[in-house]
Amino acid sequence: MKELSRMIQSLPESGIRKLQDAAREVPDCIRLETGEPNFITPEYICEAAKKAMDDGFTKYTPVPGIKTLREALAKDFTERLGKEVKISEIVVTGGACMALEAALGSIGNPGDEVLVPDPSWPVYEMQVMSLGMTPVPYVMPAANGFEPKRENIEPFITDKTKAIMVNTPSNPTGAVFSEETVRMIMELAEKYDLYVISDEIYDFLIYEGKHCSLKALDKDGRVILISGASKKYAMTGWRIGYLIASEKIIALVNQMMVAMMGNATAVAQKAVEAAITGPQDFVGFSIKDYKARRDAAAAIFQEEQVGFSYPHGAFYMMVDISCCGMDSEEFALKLLAEEHVGVAPGGTFGKSTSQMIRISCGTEMDNLCEGVRRLCRFIKKYTK
């Protein structure tokens, strides 16, 4: 038979998925490798989906999503960004994952270069490559709190650079970019005429400081804001994300939506509408809970004198394993075998973090603390 796709076969394997598959096979495993809230979707949201089903709301919807959901999103983002967002500037997608793919697909051509943060969620690199574009990493130095400086980005901009991807608060580091950093990125984007794809899916989960949205600083429609319901409302399985951009870009995003899935799932859209317009107590409660877990994990690392990044947002922590002299994947597999703890190898997020691993605090407090203790014990055992 004829050859299968060279492009897809050339994509890097996700180190997170590999560890997930391996961890599933280990009984009593403490799973710290997955970036997913441990909560189940709040009841009032599920009720809205059940009602939608009972009402027969089970057909195709308009391509960019149902009007009432986009109205709710427009109101929410207008308040949060401090500038008007129209419903014509919003598309509801199959998760933030699809919003990112649609954003990249709408602005890029094969051969274009896209600046991708190192470290970052590995899907960015896969998506850029699968669209025939070239990912160019820019480092976010650990020594600078995992925030990029101008000199980490500017030298990598060429005539072929089409866009820069940004993620604040960051997966995997938990860094929350300062206003200075966000302004610097916007200055570069304007100077070199780059689009900005800003993944702000963790914007609600800030422990210290404040979230600075790149979209809030957008003067001429070059910023595409990506967000979604997965993390904020514990709705990972519902697959609803959103993309906010200029009407010019939205026209192309809608074309991609037609080709990719037509429209996001009807009942899931109703559920997210209820999530956004309903009481926000769950969000407040979950932020407090994540913060308590971060504090507890940080206290153990400090007590055990193991190097880690202190995240100011999102629910991840990077842990230094350079003292063990192991590759991060080898470390993660050995830790899984010996201590029954799953972690994500740092190398999967970029070259700069190949001597680190990522843990997710999206698990119950006792589980997290036990996992962190075992991790510290393992690091000490193998410290050279």
Place of tokens 């991060």: 328
- Which one of residues 77, 121, 290, 349 is an interface residue with ligand PMP (CB under 6 A)? 121
Tell me if 230 contacts ligand PMP by CB under 6 A: yes
What is the C-alpha radius of gyration for the chain, rounded to an integer number of angstroms? 21
The interface with ligand PMP within residues 246-275 (CB under 6 A) comprises: none
Q: What is the rounded distance in angstroms from the CA atom of residue 110 to the CA atom of residue 303?
A: 50
The interface with ligand PMP within residues 147-186 (CB under 6 A) comprises: 167, 171
Tell me if 33 contacts ligand PMP by CB under 6 A: no
**Shortest Å distance, C-beta 94 to ligand PMP:** 8
Nearest CB to ligand PMP, comparing residues 230 and 353: 230
Determine the size of the site formed for ligand PMP (CB under 6 A): 13
Tell me if 290 contacts ligand PMP by CB under 6 A: no
The CB-based long-range contact list for 39-45 (8 Å cut-off, 24+ gap) reads 39/234, 39/282, 39/286, 40/234, 41/233, 41/234, 41/235, 41/238, 41/271, 42/233, 42/234, 42/275, 42/282, 44/274, 44/278, 44/279, 45/233, 45/235, 45/271, 45/272, 45/274, 45/275, 45/278
* Piece of the chain touching ligand PMP by CB under 6 A; list 22-30, 95-103, 140-148, 301-309: 95-103
Tell me if 107 contacts ligand PMP by CB under 6 A: no
Tell me if 146 contacts ligand PMP by CB under 6 A: no
Instruction: Please calculate the CA angle 168-171-172 and round it to the nearest 5 degrees.
Output: 130
Tell me if 233 contacts ligand PMP by CB under 6 A: no
**Shortest Å distance, C-beta 96 to ligand PMP:** 3
Tell me if 189 contacts ligand PMP by CB under 6 A: no
Tell me if 301 contacts ligand PMP by CB under 6 A: no
Query: Which amino acid type is present at position 258?
Result: V
Nearest CB to ligand PMP, comparing residues 309 and 379: 309
Q: 274 — phi, psi (to 5°)?
A: -65, -40
**Shortest Å distance, C-beta 199 to ligand PMP:** 5
* Piece of the chain touching ligand PMP by CB under 6 A; list 25-33, 78-86, 92-100, 320-328: 92-100
From start to end of 160-245, where are the E strands? 161-167, 195-199, 223-228, 241-244
Query: Which amino acid type is present at position 17?
Result: R
Tell me if 241 contacts ligand PMP by CB under 6 A: yes
- Which one of residues 48, 92, 188, 201 is an interface residue with ligand PMP (CB under 6 A)? 201
Instruction: Please calculate the CA angle 203-45-16 and round it to the nearest 5 degrees.
Output: 50
Nearest CB to ligand PMP, comparing residues 264 and 376: 264
Tell me if 97 contacts ligand PMP by CB under 6 A: yes
DSSP 8-state secondary structure symbol assigned to residue 262? S
Nearest CB to ligand PMP, comparing residues 72 and 98: 98
- Which one of residues 42, 228, 311, 350 is an interface residue with ligand PMP (CB under 6 A)? 228
Place of tokens 């274009």: 112
Place of tokens 């400090």: 302
Tell me if 348 contacts ligand PMP by CB under 6 A: no
- Which one of residues 199, 203, 273, 329 is an interface residue with ligand PMP (CB under 6 A)? 199
Q: What is the rounded distance in angstroms from the CA atom of residue 344 to the CA atom of residue 354?
A: 11
25, 72, 148, 179, 365 from 184: Cα distances, Å = 45, 31, 9, 9, 37
Q: 265 — phi, psi (to 5°)?
A: -55, 130
Nearest CB to ligand PMP, comparing residues 17 and 291: 17
* Piece of the chain touching ligand PMP by CB under 6 A; list 38-46, 94-102, 135-143, 346-354: 94-102
Q: Are 87 and 76 in contact (CB under 8 A)?
A: no
The residue ranges that bind ligand PMP (CB under 6 A) are 35, 95-97, 121, 167, 171, 199, 201, 228, 230, 236, 241
